[in-house]
Every structure is written in C-alpha cells, then in structure tokens.
Amino acid sequence: MVEPNSTTSGGAGPEVLPGAAPLRRQSWLPFSPPAVGQAEIDEVADTLRSAWITTGPKTQRFEREFAAFVGAPGALALNSCTAALHTALATLGIGPGDEVITTPMTFAASVNVIEHVGARPVLVDVEPDTLNIDPAAIAAAITARTKAVLPVHYAGHPVDLDRIGELARAHSLAVVEDAAHAIPAQYRGRCIGAGPNPVAFSFYATKNLTTAEGGMLTGEPAFLERARVLSLHGMTRDGWQRYHEGGSWFYEVVLPGFKYNMTDIQAAMGLCQLRKQEEFQRRRRQVVARYSGAFASDEAFELPVARADTTHAWHLFVLRLRPQALRIGRDQFVAELTARNIGTSVHFIPVHLHPYYRTKYGYRPDDFPVAYENFRRMLSLPLHPGLSDGDVSDVIEAVLAVASAHRR
C-alpha cells in the first residue's frame, strides 16, 4: 500500500482528505511520456554515424513526408512550434501598431510570439463546448488595426475554420493556425495544415508526434521560401547547401533573421514517428473510448466533445468537474489523484491570468468568463500510446474513487 503522503519521487506528496478512498496503484503513472522505440534510436544512431547531423538531407526528407502526410502545399522544419508561429508572423510583416486576435485558452507561447513581433495580442473568449476560440467573439474584436487571427486547435479539436475563414476574407486578415495539438486532426475531411495559410505544428516531447523539441510550418511554397530565409539568420544558403558535395561557400544575409532550424537528429526521430501515427492514433482513441464510457453517466464530470464535422486528434483528454456534484475543487481532486500515483496536468492557465499579461493589459479573471470558469474545474488525464489496459483501468478507478469519496 502506498502511503497517503508519499509519491514514487520520494518527496512529500499532497494531503488526502479524510474519507478518501484507499490508495491502489503502487507505481507512478506518468502523464505523457514520449512513445520512442528502437526504430527512432536506430535512425538517430544512423544520423550520428553519418557525416551530417544538423539541418540536411533528413530534415529535407522529413519536410517532404510531413507535407504529404497532412496534404500541405509545403513544409518548413523548425526547432519548435513557437519558432514556426514567430516566423510566420514576421514573414507576414506583422509588427508594431498591428493587432492579432487569439485565445486566452492556450499555452503562453501562442501569445508571446505576437509580443515578439511588436504587435498587440487581442484576447477573446472561447466556446463552452470545445474551448476553442469563439468566431462570434473574433468578429466583435476586429478593428482597423487587426491584421491576423491566430486560432488554437485546443486539445486536438479543430476550430471552426469555415467561420474564421469567412471573417478573414471579409476583413483581409491573415490566419495563422496554432496546430500544436492537431496531428492528425481533420476539419470537414481535410487534415489541419492542408490549406494555403500558415499552420504551425509542435513536436515537443509530450506531443502526438515528437522529435524531443521541434516544429513544422506549413503553407504555400513561396511563403515558406521567405520564411526559410528568415528562420536561419536571413541567409540565402544553409549549411547543407554550403558544405555538401557540390555546394558553394558563398552566401548573403538579406535580413536579420533567427536561429530556428531543425537538426537531422531531430528529423530522424520525426521520420519514424510519422510512420507510427496511425498506430498511435488508434491507441489514443481506444483510451478515449474507455474514459468516455466510464465517466459519461457520472454527474460529477463533463466530458470533452468531438463535433461531427471534425476528426479529433485527442492530444489531450480534458475532464471538467461539476462543482455542484462535488465537495472538493479541482486542485484537491488533482492532489488526490497524485497521491494515488496518477499523473495529471491542467491545460491551461488562461493567458490573461499570468502576471505579465495581467499587468500590461489590466486583465481581470472574469474578462473571459468561459475560459476562466472552465479553467477552474478542468484537469487533463493521462493519454498516450504507451498506456496499458491496466493503466487505463487504474486511472478510471482512481477518478471514480475520488469522486465517490467527495460527492455532495
């Protein structure tokens, strides 16, 4: 039996309230470890044994194969989704005096990049079911200074691209999609990233496809060629073009760019992960089905949705607690799951609650009531391809036990 105030990390754990259900799981269940196997190890080792480990032939191959996978016109591999978003905004020429409309229900990187180019992020509230940015709120926030909309496909559920696209066309706005969660999501039968506008993907360690760190920017080839120059110091030739057989040492810096390139070591992992996406997604859906079946009839929980015109990527399974059914709040619920060796997280602390944005723009918590109310009662359960059936059963048992112990 695991002691109530201990975890497998060895430190003092959260207190479990009197009346809590007994603890069952004996070992820690990580929230979202990377699904890396021998194929990735072999491919990385092959790269390390080669004469080239930074941006080169494997990165180029990864770009081609990723673009084919999502049906994109083209792809540019970068070192993070943040880099992809920043590069996209900079390539579009968005800067001081401009406004970019986005969501508070996201990781801060989505909004930080708007600050990086000197523009003003304009936050608007989210839909109560998907927690995606609300198109009606976008429409109300458009001004003469608005230059772009940056929607986030929250948890892997696509945003309403049709309504957002209509607004963008009517007001001559760019649309830069944050698809950090959206591999391999689809909207009306098309993969996210298949359109001509810039779309940024994340390959962070917890994502559906990982290269440890990394990202991809998709879009039209002409746009990506400008972005490619910007992403590597503003140089007209990268290292592979200068140093491989037949390359030329000569290059020019045509603008002050960034250092955002992906390495062939990362791309080696990505090539393997790309081939595993069907298998990974199948397992994610199996886990989601079990969670949904276990929690759907319990009045203490609100389940994530998947609209009929979308294919959810299921990067996250965000369970929302119903306060009227429970005597404890989200934080204590998470603490009791932690004490039961179940790793969880919260996605996300809304941007307007963070000190920088709260102070700079004078936000109050209830300025975006849907985002704020949902944040206060949400938690993300473990969801990754490595979960065994026993792991899933342990999560379900622990969640139901906590709810049962603290039901009103």
- Per-residue pLDDT at 7: 32
Is 207 annotated as catalytic? yes
How far is it, in rounded angstroms, from Cα 272 to Cα 265?
A: 12
What CATH number belongs to 38-275? Answer: 3.40.640.10
Best CA proximity match to 300, nearest among 155, 401, 157, 156: 401
Give domain limits for the chain: 38-275, 277-344+382-405
Residues 6 or more apart in contact with residue 279 via CB below 8 angstroms: 385
Count the alpha carbons within 13 Å of 132 in the hemisphere toward its beta carbon: 29
State pTM to two decimals. Answer: 0.93
How far is it, in rounded angstroms, from Cα 259 to Cα 261?
A: 6
The active-site residue out of 58, 207, 259, 360 is 207
Residues (pLDDT < 50) of the chain are 1-14
| 150 contacts 130 by C-beta, under 8 angstroms | no
Tens digits of residue pLDDT in 259-310: 999 999 999 999 999 999 999 999 999 999 999 999 999 999 999 999 999 9
Q: What is the CA radius of gyration of the chain?
A: 22
Return mean pLDDT, the chain. Answer: 93
- Per-residue pLDDT at 246: 75
| 319 contacts 377 by C-beta, under 8 angstroms | no
- Per-residue pLDDT at 352: 98
Q: Which CATH class is domain 277-344+382-405?
A: alpha beta
Reading the block at residue 213, the tokens are 């760190």
- Per-residue pLDDT at 249: 78
